[in-house]
Amino acid sequence: MEKLHHIVIVGGGAGGLELATRLGNSLGKKKKARISLVDSGLTHVWKPLLHEVASGSLDANANEINYRAHARKHHYEFQLGRMSGLDRDSKEMIIAPFHDEDGEEVVPERRLPYDTLVISVGSTANDFGTPGAQDNCLFLDSLEQARRFHNLMLNAFLRKNHESHNGKAHHLDITIIGAGATGVELAAELRLASRELPVYGMNHLQSSDVSITVIEAADRILPALPGRLSVAATKELEYQNVRVMTGQPVSEVREESLVMKDGSELHSEMTIWAAGIKAPAFLAELDGLETNRGNQLAVEQTLQTTRDSNIFAFGDCAACPQPGSERPVPPRAQAAHQQADTLFKTLCNRLEGKEGVPFVYNDHGSLINFSRYTTVGNLMGNLSGRSMYIEGKVARLFYVSLYRMHQVALHGVLRTGIIWLMDKITRAMHPRLKLH
């Protein structure tokens, strides 16, 4: 029997899982290629939703996808593990040993051969070497970190509620460093949590007892988005009693305070780092592949790495050039979705000996969701190139549709419709916030 061309995809994030699903449903199902997905976790949750998991407004258990079950339905293989190295001469990727919670080795280091390798391992928070950040900040790079934050938040509310009941000082200071989309949306979710939790028995703690501050080093929040969005977002945060500090770089993070660049100190019992991203450090040591200062793999417009035509990279971990622009494709979910679509066509062409498809990024706009309060955003016109500002229910509809589009890519229209119906039932039967 002729050996099938083996396509290995590393990273089951939004782009990686969509690509594995499409390749499995086409090439894998028809036995035209063998498709493998490698990820260090057992389940997938859409990363733009992690701040909702952290605040408790989204139950990850009801929204996560089990890779093994999904692989079986969509004709690809899944391997649990973390990529730790690469042997380009042998065309093998190296998977690190897998250990259990007690540190015992479950599966030793192993090698997985490939004919075509696709790297889509996403990004991690970039603390820019700020002293104390790693030790004293919470991060939201993974589902595990989001769940840890949620537990710490619930415990903090419980502790402050008890202190209030006993007549003690009970003010809680929460600070978010970084006012990009994640930081702004997280602030709104935390404000919702501070107002909802007293309804569920913590009636000695008021929302006004919880101070939420967003700090941005740039001169405005959402610095990568249009100025009108920034102004609207600032007004909404302030309306929700969230303090906004701009032009304020953080020089040090201490256990219960922040030291600003001007030497002033800000009290903070819970500090979340949401400022900047970088690609995982191990990418800079992958057998000579070219990377930039942010550890991103340098790729051509076809998403092939610059030094190996058999290796592709996309999403946040890749620096992909944009025609007519000095800046690479921005690290956004919509970019990863578009790249997965282009790469699917390229890999199908590759099996037929055809040329790859150059990737061209189309910015469809940006949407910022303020929990259940409101949504604001701008949509880009495909023909005119102009942006249209939207807010309220219309913007919320577009925001929700982004996640539904991701689900359609993974499950199809019918199954996504069933999932949508089940979500409606779940929201009607369960509390508005996850309380454990």
Surface-to-core class of residue 258, CB atoms within 10 Å of its CB (0-12 exposed, 13-18 middle, 19+ buried): buried
Lowest mean pLDDT, pick from 48-62, 237-251, 353-367, 419-433: 419-433
How far is residue 183's CA from residue 277's CA, in Å, rounded to a whole number? Answer: 13
pLDDT digits (tens, 9 = 90+) for 32-88: 999 999 999 999 998 988 988 998 888 878 789 999 999 999 999 999 999 999 999
Please answer whether residues 184 and 178 qualify as being in contact, where contact means their C-beta atoms are separated by less than 8 angstroms.
Answer: no
In order of 101, 234, 316, 340, the CA distances from 334 in angstroms are 35, 24, 11, 10
Residues 6+ apart with CB under 8 A from 79: 36, 37, 38, 95, 112
Task: Centre a 10 Å sphere on the Cβ of residue 129 and count the other Cβ atoms it contains.
Answer: 7
Q: Which residue has the higher pLDDT, 205 or 234?
A: 234
Homologous superfamily of 5-123+279-351 in CATH? Answer: FAD/NAD(P)-binding domain (3.50.50.60)
pLDDT of 151 over the 80 cut: yes
β-pairing verdict for 33-39 and 5-10: parallel
User: What percent of the chain has pLDDT above 70?
Assistant: 95
pLDDT of 20 over the 80 cut: yes
Q: Which residue has the higher pLDDT, 431 or 252?
A: 252
Lowest mean pLDDT, pick from 119-133, 179-193, 379-393: 379-393
Which CATH number among 2.130.10.10, 3.50.50.60, 2.60.40.1930, 1.10.1530.10 corresponds to the domain 133-276? 3.50.50.60
- 5-123+279-351 and 133-276 in the same fold: yes
| Structure confidence at residue 31 (pLDDT) | 95
Please answer whether residues 145 and 309 qualify as being in contact, where contact means their C-beta atoms are separated by less than 8 angstroms.
Answer: no
Q: For all residues of the chain together, what is the average pLDDT?
A: 90
| Structure confidence at residue 62 (pLDDT) | 78
pLDDT digits (tens, 9 = 90+) for 193-227: 888 877 777 778 888 899 999 999 999 999 988 88
Helix (H) or strand (E) holding 68: helix 67-73
pLDDT digits (tens, 9 = 90+) for 58-73: 887 878 999 999 999 9
Output the six-digit token pair for 111: 């090698």
| Structure confidence at residue 367 (pLDDT) | 81
Residue spans of the domains in the chain: they are 5-123+279-351, 133-276, 365-429
User: What percent of the chain has pLDDT above 90?
Assistant: 63
Please answer whether residues 399 and 219 qualify as being in contact, where contact means their C-beta atoms are separated by less than 8 angstroms.
Answer: no
| Structure confidence at residue 431 (pLDDT) | 60
* Sheet order of strands, 110-113 included: 83-87, 92-95, 110-113
| Structure confidence at residue 273 (pLDDT) | 96
| Structure confidence at residue 140 (pLDDT) | 93
pLDDT of 382 over the 50 cut: no
pLDDT digits (tens, 9 = 90+) for 264-276: 999 999 999 999 8
Q: Which residue has the higher pLDDT, 353 or 393?
A: 353
User: In the predicted model, what is the mean pLDDT of residues 284-293?
Assistant: 94
Output the six-digit token pair for 94: 């190296």
How far is residue 109's CA from residue 283's CA, in Å, rounded to a whole number? Answer: 18
